[in-house]
Amino acid sequence: MTAENFIPKKYPNSVENGSYTWTSPSNIALVKYWGKKANQIPENPSISFTLNNCKTTTTLSFSKKESDNYFSFEVFLDGEKKDDFKPKIETFFNRVEIYLPFLKSYHFKIETSNTFPHSSGIASSASGMSALALCLMSVEKKLINDVSEENFIQKASFLARLGSGSACRSLEGDLVVWGKHDKIDGSSDLFGVKYPFEVHKNFKNYQDTILLVDKGEKQVSSTVGHNLMHGHPFAQERFNQAEKNLSDIILILKNGDLDKFIALVESEALTLHSMMMTSMPYFILMKPNTLEIINKIWAYRNSTGSKVCFTLDAGANVHVLYPENEAAQVLEFIQNELVTFCQKGEYINDKIGFGAKLL
């Protein structure tokens, strides 16, 4: 499979106008994507839990226009016009136009809303870009007629990746792999695929409570962060490590080995942050409260034998991961000991989910 496979032949149907709404979730990586080649190709494979409650809902309305030599679109967030979102979408349209040659034939109205606060520091690019890619695929489906469910999702994930790498892991659930890996049949650098192997019941309905430590704009955009891996002294070792961690997690997920899961997931999070600390220029993306929370989690685990652990994105917020059978105790621990380190005491309870839906 190559990117050229996603270039459509001539569209048999003509469509004047219409509207589609998709809702698509965010995801949290266990083995992280950090570093990319040209055209949004990841340097290493990654795997994520799809989330359930952190979602973007996007309605795409489209109508045929006279001229087809420019993009025409407007964007709304929660009903308010958002011109500052336009450059990112314009870049996305430019990247995907060859795969969606109808893009310049229509005017688009993109209306979007998130279940989580926009300024929560939670990445909306994964849920936002996947929802938009799915809406565009619904338009293409109308122009083509017969698209199999599998081809539809695969191309939507391919397109979402061109918007934001991690977005290609948001369409399905409950675990999605992106990036070619020898041990995972069907895995690809071009799109995300559902994790194909057995998963132990320990991981069913896994919980993720997101502690909002810093709700501001990201200090370093992920694009800048990924770029810092070029020429990074430890880059190649890191890519090898991610490759190995993905191999190792296959057995961990099968056997339900929570101790090994914790070690792998926490090490991935800290490695991601250490890559940022050892790049040039260097950054510390954690805040003091991020470390307070990590230490509290470690102390709680030591004293109770709990299997709670943490992971981090490229920011200060903490994702607290734990098995469903510990939900009551861990939530009590979070409320008693961790919420105090959150900005305005805010946190979001989420859990593993099953991907995007057409509304």
Residues forming contacts to ligand DP6 in the complex (CB under 6 A) are: 29, 32-34, 40, 46, 123, 125, 164-166, 222-223, 226, 272, 313-314
CB of 220 to ligand DP6, least distance (A): 11
Which of 223, 295 has the CB closer to ligand DP6? 223
**Peptide bond just before 42 cis, omega within 30 deg:** no
Pick 164 or 209: Cβ nearer ligand DP6:
164
Q: What residues contact 146, with CB distance under 8 A and at least 6 apart? A: none
Cβ-based nearer residue to ligand DP6, 62 or 319: 319
CB of 32 to ligand DP6, least distance (A): 4
- Kindly tell me which of 226 and 296 has the beta carbon lying closer to ligand DP6: 226
| Closest residue to bound ligand DP6 by CB | 165
To ligand DP6, the closest distance from the beta carbon of 126 in angstroms equals 6
Q: Minimum CB separation from ligand DP6 for residue 142, in Å?
A: 28
* In the complex, least distance from residue 164 CB atom to ligand DP6, rounded to whole angstroms: 3
Q: How far is the CB of 216 from ligand DP6 (least distance, A)?
A: 17
173 close to 355: Cβ distance less than 8 angstroms: yes
**What are the DSSP calls for 225-283, one per residue?**
HHHTTTT-TTHHHHHHHHHHHHHHHHHHHHHT-HHHHHHHHHHHHHHHHHHHHTSSS--
Give the SS3 label for residue 194. strand
- Residue 20 or 178: the one with the smaller Cβ distance to ligand DP6 is 178
Pair of tokens at residue 57:
């809902």
Give the H or E element holding residue 127: helix 125-144
Residues 167, 130: contact at Cβ < 8 Å?
A: yes
Q: Is the peptide bond before 174 cis (omega within 30 degrees of 0)?
A: yes
Q: Return the number of other C-beta atoms located less than 10 Å from residue 149's C-beta.
A: 7
Q: Which is nearer to ligand DP6, 40 or 127 (CB)?
A: 40
